[in-house]
Amino acid sequence: MNDRIRTDIAHNARVWNYWLGGKDNYPVDRAVGDQVTGFYPSIGEVARADRAFLGRAVTFLAADAGMRQFLDIGTGLPTADNTHEVAQRAAPDARIVYVDNDPIVLTHARALLTSAPEGVTEYVDADAHDPEKILAAAGATLDLSRPVAVMMLGILNFVLDTGEARTIVRALMDAVPSGSHLVLTHPTLEPELGGEGNKAAMAFWNENATPPITARSRAEIASFFDGLDLLEPGILSCSRWRATDEEAPVVAQFGAVGRKP
């Protein structure tokens, strides 16, 4: 086993995999996952809504917005409909770079590297706190002088300092040209999304699992889109972003897409 993999403490990528019904997790992940569900019963729905948002956003970007390059930071363990599968269904020549810092995601990365022959997928083992390293590595596969969809789904919540999170987003979006997009999901405590339940769940998480997490307000999430044009319908429950099912339950996870003018 990779000696960076710890089985004595729950890891986010593995617990997320558990909530999504995957098998790439350990007893400690399942125990913590179940305890978090006890505090916040709809957490599994959040994970599924987040993945469904990924599907709709990437399909829109590849099929309608002409995006051919995707930088997916905080990829997670391979699951159904990974970014390259969704993007290449619409655009087989799409190029995807995945980035995560969890050692178990690295060991499963092969499953992410199954590109359509016309396109390419690459995996980078790097930390979101180091956008320069990410850009340098991504530049080997992506042409950063052409538009890139920068995807940060459920990842900025692991950058605890909001100022630093903004700096990271800025560094990434400054490095890509007009026509690039920022795709974001992020948990919140906002009551309008039923986020109060996240509070005890996150407190429990931060005492028992890794890495530590934070929630953000609508205003804080809006600040990540400063200088970008927010696409309709703006910042809302990710389950409702361009949802085909208008009855989809609201979840305490914002989703939004912005375009660099």
Ligand X SMILES: C[S@@+](CC[C@H](N)C(=O)[O-])C[C@H]1O[C@@H](n2cnc3c(N)ncnc32)[C@H](O)[C@@H]1O
Query: According to the binding rule CB under 6 A, does residue 216 interact with ligand X?
Result: no
Residue nearer to ligand X on the CB measure, 4 or 118: 4
Contact 253, 238 (CB under 8 A): yes
Closer Cβ to ligand X, 99 or 261, answer by number: 99
Measured from the CB atom, the residue of 95 and 108 that comes closer to ligand X is 108
Using rule CB under 6 A, residue 74 touches ligand X: yes
Position with the least CB separation from ligand X = 76
Q: Long-range contacts of range 238-245, CB-CB < 8 Å, 24 or more positions apart?
A: 238/49, 238/50, 238/52, 238/53, 238/185, 239/45, 239/49, 239/52, 239/53, 241/53, 241/56, 241/57, 242/56, 242/57, 242/60, 243/56, 244/56
What Å distances lie between residue 102 and 1, 12, 49, CA to CA? 14, 9, 22
Q: Which stretch binds ligand X (CB under 6 A): 37-45, 94-102, 166-174, 176-184?
A: 94-102
122 binding ligand X? (CB under 6 A): no
**Can residue 76 be called a binding residue for ligand X (CB under 6 A)?**
yes
Stretch 132-171 residues interacting with ligand X (CB under 6 A)? 153-155, 158
* 15 vs 142, beta carbon nearer ligand X: 15
Q: Least CB distance from residue 216 to ligand X, whole Å? A: 14
We find the least distance from the C-beta atom of residue 192 to ligand X, in angstroms, to be 22
Q: Which of 75, 82, 115, 121 binds ligand X (CB under 6 A)?
A: 75
Minimum gap (Å) between residue 174 Cβ and ligand X: 19
Q: Of 102, 135, 216, 237, which lies in the binding site for ligand X, with binding defined by CB under 6 A?
A: 102
Question: CA-to-CA distance for 173 and 73, rounded, in angstroms?
Answer: 13
Q: Residue 33 or residue 74: which is nearer to ligand X going by CB?
A: 74
CA distance 99 to 233: 28
Question: Can you read off the two tokens belonging to residue 211?
Answer: 């890495």
CA-to-CA dists, residue 195 to 162, 207, 211, 214, 219, angstroms: 19, 19, 20, 12, 15
> Would you say 22 or 119 has its CB closer to ligand X?
22
By rule CB under 6 A, what count of residues binds ligand X? Answer: 21
Instruction: Give the span between the Cα atoms of 3 and 241, in whole angstroms.
Output: 40
Closer residue to ligand X (CB): 75 or 88: 75
Q: Does 129 bind ligand X (CB under 6 A)?
A: yes
Binding to ligand X, residues 4-63 (CB under 6 A): 12-13, 16, 50-51, 54
Q: DSSP characters for 12-49?
A: HHHHHHHHTT-S---HHHHHHHHHHHHH-TTHHHHHHH
Q: CA 33, CA 38: separation in Å to the nearest integer?
A: 9
Cβ count within 10 A of residue 92: 13
Which of 147, 154 has the CB closer to ligand X? 154
Binding site for ligand X (CB under 6 A): 12-13, 16, 50-51, 54, 74-76, 100-102, 105, 127-129, 153-155, 158, 211
